[in-house]
Structure 1
Amino acid sequence: MMLKKNKKFFIASCIVILLPMFAGFLLWDQLPAQVATHFGRNGEADRYSSKLFAVAGIYLFVLAVHILCSVITEFDPKKRNVGSKIYHLILCICPVVSLWCGVMIYGNALGYKDVINLNLWTNVLLGIVLIVVGNYLPKCRQNYMIGIKLPWTLDNEENWDYTHRMAGKWWIIGGVLTILLGFQKFVDPIGAAVGIILIVTLIPAIASYIYYKKHRVM
Structure 2
Amino acid sequence: MKINKKELLLTSLVCLLPLLAGVALYPRLPETMATHWGFDGTANGWSSRAATVFGLPLFILALHLICFYAESHGTNRNMNPVLRTVMLWICPAMSLLGSALTLGTGLGYEMHISTVVPVFVGLLFLILGNYLPKIRRNRIMGIKLPWTLASEENWTRTHRAAGFTWVAAGLLMLLSALLRLHGPTVTVVLLALAVGIPVLYSYLYYRRHEKGGAQ
Q: TM-score, normalised by structure 1?
A: 0.91
Whichever residue aligns with residue 186 of structure 2, its letter is A
Distance, in Å, in 1 between the alignment partners of 2:16 and 2:206 is 44
AA paired with 2:197? I
Deviations 1:181-213 (A, max 9, x none): 113445x32121011011022111111112112
Structure 2: distance between partners of 1:111 and 1:90:
32
Aligned counterparts of 2:172 and 2:114: Cα–Cα separation in 1: 14
- The offset of 1:123, in angstroms, is 0.8
Report the Cα offset of residue 145 of structure 1.
2.6
Does 2:155 match 1:160? yes
Amino acid at match of 1:141: R
TM-score for the superposition, normalised by structure 2 = 0.92
Q: Distance in 2 between matches of 1:108 and 1:211?
A: 47
Pairing partner for 2:86 from 86, 89, 92? 89
Note if contact 2:56-2:99 (Cα within 8 Å) is conserved in structure 1: no
CA contact (8 A) 1:20 1:59 kept: yes
1:127-182 CA distance string (max 9 Å, x none): 00100110110111112232111111111111111111111111111001001111
Asked whether the 8 Å contact 2:33–2:48 carries over to 1, the reply is yes
What SS is found at the alignment partner of 1:182?
helix
| Amino acid in the other structure paired with 1:13 | T
Q: Secondary structure at the match of 1:27?
A: helix
1:72 Cα offset (Å): 2.1
- 1:68-104 Cα shifts (integer Å, max 9, x gaps): 111223443x332434333322211111111110111
AA in 2 matched with 1:147 = G
1:33 to 15, 31, 34: 31
Q: Secondary structure at the match of 2:108?
A: coil
Percent identical pairs in the alignment equals 38
The residue that corresponds to 1:18 in the other structure is 16
1:134, 1:83 → 2: CA distance? 13
Match runs of 1:58-73 below 5 Å: 58-73=56-71
Give me the CA root mean square deviation. Answer: 1.5
- Aligned-partner SS, 2:77: helix
Alpha-carbon distance between aligned partners in 1 of 2:78 and 2:151, rounded to the nearest angstrom = 14
Q: Establish whether residue 55 from structure 1 lines up as the match of residue 49 from structure 2.
A: no
Per the alignment, residue 44 of structure 2 pairs with 46
Give the 3-state SS of the residue equivalent to 1:143 in structure 2.
coil
Taking the aligned partners of 2:10 and 2:48, their CA distance within structure 1 comes to 28
Give 3-state SS (helix, strand or coil) of 1:79's partner.
Answer: coil
Does 2:179 correspond to 1:202?
no
1 CA distance for matches of 2:44 and 2:200?
37
Which residue in 1 is equivalent to 2:133?
138
Q: Which amino acid aligns with 1:162?
A: R
Segments of structure 1 that go 5 or more residues without pairing to the other structure are none
Q: Does 1:105 align with 2:102?
A: yes
- 1:171 is matched with which residue: 135, 160, 166? 166
Q: Measure the CA separation in 2 of the matches of 1:26 and 1:142.
A: 46
Partner of 1:49, secondary structure, is strand
